[in-house]
Structure formats: C-alpha cells, structure tokens
Structure 1
C-alpha cells in the first residue's frame, strides 16, 4: 500500500473533516470541491528532476481514473487570466463534484491516487479548496461575456444586484477543506457584460473584506451540467 498523502501546500481543516465523519449516510450527499491553485514556478520534485513547471506537474497529476472510480465528475477547469481583487494571485481554478464526502475521503486512500499525488505535491505552491453546495443555477445562459468567479464571506452577498452580471451558478461554502485558515461563505460564477460591469464588481469586492474576483478562461466547463445532473 502506498504511503499516506502528504499535503505540503496548505493546512487541512480538521474541524470540517471531523464534522464530515459525524454525518449520517442519508445527509452525506453530493458536494463540489472548488480548488484555487497557485503553482511553483519550477516543480519541486523529491527526486530532484528539473525543467518542469508547476503547471506542467499539475497537468501530469490529473487523477481522472481515481475520480471516475469514486463516481466524481470534473465540473470545471480554467486558467485565471485576470485577478483584480484577492490574494494570492491564483493560476488556475478547478471544480470536482463528488457524490459524497465519504467518496472524497475514500479517494485519498486509493493507491492509484497516491501514486499520482507526487505531481500535485511537486507543482502546487499553495491551494485553497472550498467545500460547496449549489444554491442556484441557470441552464439557459449563453456563453457570452467573460466568466468571472466571485468569492466572498459574510452574511450578505456584496455582488447581489450589480448591473451587467448574468448569474451562471451560485454555490454556498460550508468551509475550506484545505487552505490557510481563511473562511469563505459563497462562490458565484457570473458572466460579465463589459468593462463597466467588471469595474462595478471590483468596486464591490474592494469594499468587502476578503473578497476575490477572478476572470477565467475555460478549458472544461461542465459547471451547470454538474448541478443539473446531481
């Protein structure tokens, strides 16, 4: 059996994990793991191999087999092209829908996943992974305008009611699975009509402590489908 996965790129939220273990099977339903990823410029492999970027190492990671084995679905993958608000500056965003939290935990114990994980460990400088559930979505949205991810915390949504935004999928977060101790309450995927609308988003984010605004270029976009078919 392969060694346990070592997470060098963030702090595990054991309080959240403990809550997961206490969940009744009937309440342990699908959740979406939203990954914010920042890469090493050069991958840090334990065997000293060189000439591989952190992004390339993460591309080699791609645990599609283990994900399929536990019934998970890649809901979204995209590069961050612009980040007007928030830190650190992220490189990529990925979302995986898991059928349950127990399925997520089971994947961590799979030998094929552990074998792939060396690439993630080498490539990832830091990550925050939010555990999310969908609040709303709109399957009729046409893919026009920039896709923007809005992350915030607090009782109210700082981006609610802004002009020039079309809601694509809204998620509530129960907490970060791994990160740096920060907490976020929601993640919103929207289409932004134009620069004026984006400026309104930036202004709202700057007035909201801890908010993040990420403009994305999509490589895989099954976001709405992942919610509709859950």
Structure 2
C-alpha cells in the first residue's frame, strides 16, 4: 500500500491539534524511476527521473510556500534503515517548518499549490508526512 495523500481521518486528526503554534513536518520520500504523468500532461514527454519531477514540484510549490513563511530546515539522503521495516527505504528526507498549522492548511488549499501537486504525485511511489511539535532539548 502506498501513501501519497492524507485520508479524511488523518486530516481531521491534524485539524484537532493546536493551530496557533509552530509545526514541523517530517517528509520521507520514495521516488519512481520515471514519473507517472497523465498522457496528456505537458511533462509526460520530458526525460525526467522521479527525483527531477519532485524537484519541479518543490520549485512550483515554493511560489506559494515562501509567501506563507515555510522554511525547509533539514534535508538528507537516507543511507539505510537501522531500526524499522526492511522494505521501507527512502530516497529523500526533509523537515519543513511552518509558522503554524493554519499556514499548512492554507498552503494545501491554495489553487497554485494544488496545481503543483501533480508533479509530487507523478514523482512518488510512496511517502510519509508526519506532523511534529518542536520541543527544546534539555541540556545538562
């Protein structure tokens, strides 16, 4: 089973959490070898990898996210899973920081952002998007 979009229950759970505090979203991504665009989409004829299509999504979505105060604070290429299912191998991981949950919901409701998501969907085999509440570590 792949996970590319939230279910109605997952969105409801998201909305039931606090709205007016910063959130960080952990993104785990597994790319397709080649993107899966609809045949009539202009990008269907491009010689892109799944990673290329995802980076196009980031560029298009960035036009919306910058206005909302989104900041990608960490990006990595996972090397191996030390603890977890052996079949969950990710190509990219990153953490996006939002000023608050309202900013995230505004983003996903924006028509320009929604138009950009075709590239995300075409690029991915599987993904995880995990809402996190930042906490400060106590230092001795």
TM-score range, shorter chain: 0.7 to 0.9
1:94 is matched with 94
What runs of 5+ residues in structure 1 fail to find an aligned partner? 1-7, 139-230
**Structure 2 CA distance, aligned partners of 1:9 and 1:39?**
12
* 1:75 aligned to which of 70, 73, 85: 73
What runs of 5+ residues in structure 2 fail to find an aligned partner? none
Does 2:47 match 1:55? Answer: no
SS where residue 115 of structure 1 aligns?
A: helix
Residues 110-161 of structure 1: CA distance to partner in whole angstroms, max 9, x if unpaired? Answer: 12212221211110111011110123348xxxxxxxxxxxxxxxxxxxxxxx
1:14 is matched with 8
- 1:11 Cα deviation after fit: 5.1
Does 2:130 match 1:136? Answer: no
* TM-score in terms of structure 2 length: 0.78
1:111 is matched with 111
- CA gap of 1:71–1:101, structure 2 versus 1, over 3 A, is same
Does 2:22 match 1:30? Answer: yes
- 1:21 Cα deviation after fit: 3.3
**Structure 2 CA distance, aligned partners of 1:22 and 1:81?**
34
Aligned length: 129
Q: Whose radius of gyration is greater, 1 or 2?
A: 1
SS where residue 18 of structure 1 aligns?
A: helix
Residues 14-59 of structure 1: CA distance to partner in whole angstroms, max 9, x if unpaired? Answer: 334224434565xx31110100000111111113325211111111
* TM-score in terms of structure 1 length: 0.50
**Structure 2 CA distance, aligned partners of 1:102 and 1:91?**
29
Between structures 1 and 2, the one with greater helix share: 2
